[in-house]
Structure 1
């Protein structure tokens, strides 16, 4: 069976337009978004550098212990950590954000960090910005999943240490998993901020509403649709629904019940318990005797 190699989709060069074609009122929003993108790109570099150092240590441990521990259960966690780490390294997160920043400058000039120090003169087409948004969103999903698996690997290593076998190796692996989980938590914050920034760019350039704006347009309807089941459900049990409009109005709340003193409850119980018991005894039905009862007494 032939091996099919998946080709990674590459972004084409953006179709640029001149900055002068934009209305003046959107320029401050674009300036703020590009400034935030620059901050996110700079924050990624030291974090990814630390991550690459941890990955090198993980590679060395993997190659040294793969022949000996390949059948061990804890080694499956090591292989999973290494697989996720390599996939994260292939994303080139800084290149994604830098390509977005460079798309606001003249593509005919030499692409360098010196060019980014000047003022932006162009802006890319909507398709290119949407492509960057898709790349950042996919990277965020991968990093979130990786953070979850790293936490599971750390717990697995700490439990395996209690057996006493290969304690030094397991302690080193637990330390790597802990440091990588901390790094991925920082990456999640940066990528979430980058998503909001790209949404703001789309909204400023092309009037594309962000996901936050779509949720804010109808917050009550969205909350009710997720909180309450549909009317077509049939569980066989009557369910009392709570009206959100009534619950939101404090004037329509029922009055609070007045507390009943302990003395009044005690008096009522003494006066009513005995007659109720006597009445139940009086209403006891007499057992009907049949012919067999007459024979055996």
Structure 2
């Protein structure tokens, strides 16, 4: 992880240039960042106190326990905790919050209590989010090193040598491990909030899918036209001036005579003879069960 902290320029824009629909999500994200900032302030203050005690114990026993096996874990823990504290996580969140206010404001703490008037460039928010992800990775490694140091110190306690000194180291390592776990949860929440801010500023919110309105006629399911209605439709479109078609009075009347046969239900024209074959339905008589069938349930 790079020690250089060089965020890109904010390139602030007025609040009025942002869509008014996105103002409420930005307000919610800034409130969530404020909660994370207050949480980091408490955690890092306690972490600093524990780190100072660890530094004093380290320099006190460096010459005496330099060759011990557990001392390598203590030195590694000290190095990771120092690196994590040097990141100044609170300043990173402050820079994100101040990017939504006027940069020329003298009293910035007072400005944070009011409404935001500007918004930064999405590249600035993306850089801060990547920085938070690096902090999360470093905090995860610090948590792993603290766990290994606790196990090593617990094994060293079994010998009984320098028991008071090792007990102090175990207490400090355990306390710093708890603070690191709480810090991991806060960094994860802050990273998620910055992700939301980036999506808002990039206007990547998913648009509502347009409703598909069915168009056209359902010809397959439509009922067939009546022949007489079709004749009227065609004749109604012909003007009397055209001689190519006959008028409705000159058209012969077409009548269809149908008779419905009672036995088969088939429509037939009048005058036709339909041979009907009547089939007799024979019923199969069931045999009576004898006593053996009753016994074996046949």
Structure having the larger proportion of residues in helix: 1
1:250 alignment partner in structure 2: none
Report the TM-score when normalising by structure 2: 0.67
Consecutive unaligned residues of structure 1, counting only runs of 5 or more, are 1-5, 211-297
* Cα contact 2:8–2:127 (8 A) shared by 1: no
Q: Distance between the aligned counterparts of 2:89 and 2:51, measured in 1?
A: 16
Q: How is 1:1-297 mapped onto 2 (pairs within 5 angstroms)?
A: 8-110=4-106, 112-208=108-204
8 Å CA contact retained: 1:102, 1:111: no
Q: Report the Cα distance in structure 2 between the residues aligned to 1:113 and 1:76, rounded to whole angstroms.
A: 43
Using the size of structure 1 for normalisation, the TM-score is: 0.67
Q: How many residues align?
A: 205
What CA RMSD, in Å, does the superposition of the two structures yield over aligned residues? Answer: 1.5
8 Å contact 2:8–2:123 — kept in the other structure? no
Helix, strand or coil at the partner of 2:62: helix
- Inter-CA distance 114–181: structure 2 relative to 1 (3 Å threshold): same
Cα offset, 1:189, TM superposition: 0.6
CA deviations 1:185-225 (Å, max 9, x no partner) are: 10011000001100110111103579xxxxxxxxxxxxxxx
Q: Tell me, in whole angstroms, the C-alpha distance in 2 between the residues paired with 1:148 and 1:7.
A: 21
Q: Deviation of residue 112 (structure 1)? A: 2.2
Structure 1 runs (4+) greater than 4 angstroms displaced: none
Q: Secondary structure at the match of 1:97?
A: helix
Counterpart-to-counterpart distance in 2, 1:22 and 1:208: 13
Larger Rg: 2
